[in-house]
Structure 1
Amino acid sequence: MTTSKSVVIGVLALQGAFREHIAYFNELIQQNPNDYADYEFNIIEVKTKEDLSQCDSLVIPGGESTSISYIAERTHLLPHLYEFIADESKSVWGTCAGMIFLSRQLLNGKLNQKILGGLNVEVSRNAFGRQLNSFEQPLDFSSFIPGCTNFPTVFIRAPVVTRILSNPVHSQEEDHHKQGVIMTENPYVNNASVEVLYSLKNYDSQDHDLIVAVKQGHILGISFHPELAGDYSFHKWFIDEFVLKRKVHS
């Protein structure tokens, strides 16, 4: 008799769209029983260090990045999040505010806002404007998600990656004096290469490309809200390419 392998995916439940992510994961697993017959999944809310300690993987949802930061610090979860993202046997996914929280440098952040430093990128908050400027756009992600050619991508007060930090420690030293630039306090440095997965091409009249999805080793960051898309492609890809591959090799 084959014993199912236990897999725990945590969704940080301090603020934001954590319930939507949990529902997507549960529905995806229920709808694909043959794909995951060898695994027993448990999708949990993460609010404490005890919750976090159970997790093989962590999703940091969209919401309000400053609120997530302040609550994590007030509840003494922040140092445990620093440790979790530094554990490269785990996997981490940040969506919208979650990508902000995972960045190493942050433009136009708020006073005393903290970031985790798992992605060697600089991120700008609210890059597309306010809530009224939110939009949905079908995008082709088939270059890294097979068959995902028309994903209904939802951007709500979304951030963008403004810079890849090829030498993150040196970049932080250079930028430390700049007003409005927040640096991570986490000593961990992710030594994997940053892969740009997707950019919005020729976004404005100045032909700017806006980076909205990046991968760096065990960490994924995206600008948008896949848990609002009515499409499980991103959640399935995260399970298959991040969660299970690291679980198999751990």
Structure 2
Amino acid sequence: MTTSTEITLGVLALQGAFREHIEYFQKVIESHPQEYSKFTFTFIEVKTEDQLRRCDSLVIPGGESTSISLIAERTNLLQPLMDYVKSENPIWGTCAGLIFLSKQLKNGRVGQKLLGGLNVEVTRNAFGRQLDSFESPLDFSSFIPDCHAFPTVFIRAPVITELLHDGPTESKSESDSIFYSQNNYNNKAPIEVLHSLKNHGKIDHELIVAVRQGHILGTSFHPELATDDYRFHKWYIDEFVVKSKNKSTDI
């Protein structure tokens, strides 16, 4: 009798759109039963260190980045999260999750902490306030097969303003309001820019909104709010979670 491979995918549930992520992951598995017949997926909300230890993969959702980091610190989950990014387990941060995963942050708030898993500088609220939120159909077919016109939702979204190939730029002055991660982890994988926006509104330069660095994915937008479109979540399961699990179980 063939036994299935168990995979536990956790979504950090301190604040933000964590339930939506879980719902979309469940839809992926339910709609492709044969494709994932070799696996038994469990999706959990992560609020404690014990729950985090169970995870083969972690998603950090959108929400309010300052609140997420402060709650993590107050609940003694900040250091376990910093340790988790050092593992080879896949991690995906969306919007506030991208901010939380960054190595340095522009326009941050006092007391805000960073996990330092992605060697990038991120700028908060890069498009403006809540009223400047928008939805745009984007073409992700360069890295997700046949993924054209995906309905991306940007809500007070951050953007990646610098790729830190040589580490944090701590030479910047304090007037730049740059916040740095205190995590000593150095992600040595190359940084891949997956998607940029060009000539958006009044902005005449590229805005990086999706990157990958090894086992960590960061997106400025909210795929979990794309109505009934879970292609991005399926790609994450296939490209990150399943591949990582298969690699770890290879003899």
Q: Could you tell me the TM-score, scaled by structure 2's length?
A: 0.96
**Amino acid of the structure 1 residue aligned with 2:27:** E
Secondary structure at the residue paired with 1:157?
coil
What is aligned with 1:245? 243
Alpha-carbon distance, 1:175 to partner: 3.0
Alpha-carbon distance, 1:207 to partner: 2.0
**Amino acid of the structure 1 residue aligned with 2:200:** Y
Question: What is the correspondence of 1:99-178 to structure 2 with a 5 Å cutoff?
Answer: 99-169=98-168, 171=169, 173-175=170-172, 177-178=174-175
State how far apart, in whole Å, the 2-side matches of 1:2 and 1:71 are.
Answer: 42
5+ long unaligned stretches in structure 2:
none
Secondary structure at the residue paired with 1:175?
coil
Question: What is the correspondence of 1:1-250 to structure 2 with a 5 Å cutoff?
Answer: 1-88=1-88, 90-169=89-168, 171=169, 173-175=170-172, 177-205=174-202, 207-230=204-227, 231-250=229-248
Whether the 8 Å CA contact 1:95–1:225 is kept in 2: the answer is yes
Change (3 A) 1:85 1:30: same
Alpha-carbon distance, 1:203 to partner: 2.0
State how far apart, in whole Å, the 1-side matches of 2:40 and 2:13 are.
Answer: 22
**Amino acid of the structure 1 residue aligned with 2:46:** V
**Amino acid of the structure 2 residue aligned with 1:122:** E
Change (3 A) 1:203 1:13: same
Alpha-carbon distance, 1:41 to partner: 0.1
Change (3 A) 1:129 1:40: same
State how far apart, in whole Å, the 2-side matches of 1:136 and 1:107 are.
Answer: 24
State how far apart, in whole Å, the 2-side matches of 1:176 and 1:187 are.
Answer: 21
Whether the 8 Å CA contact 1:196–1:214 is kept in 2: the answer is yes
**Amino acid of the structure 2 residue aligned with 1:96:** C
Whether the 8 Å CA contact 2:106–2:176 is kept in 1: the answer is no
5+ long unaligned stretches in structure 1:
none
CA RMSD of aligned residues (A): 1.1
Change (3 A) 1:188 1:176: farther
State how far apart, in whole Å, the 1-side matches of 2:173 and 2:49 are.
Answer: 30
State how far apart, in whole Å, the 2-side matches of 1:214 and 1:5 are.
Answer: 29
State how far apart, in whole Å, the 1-side matches of 2:184 and 2:15 are.
Answer: 25
- Give the share of equivalent positions with the same residue, in percent: 63
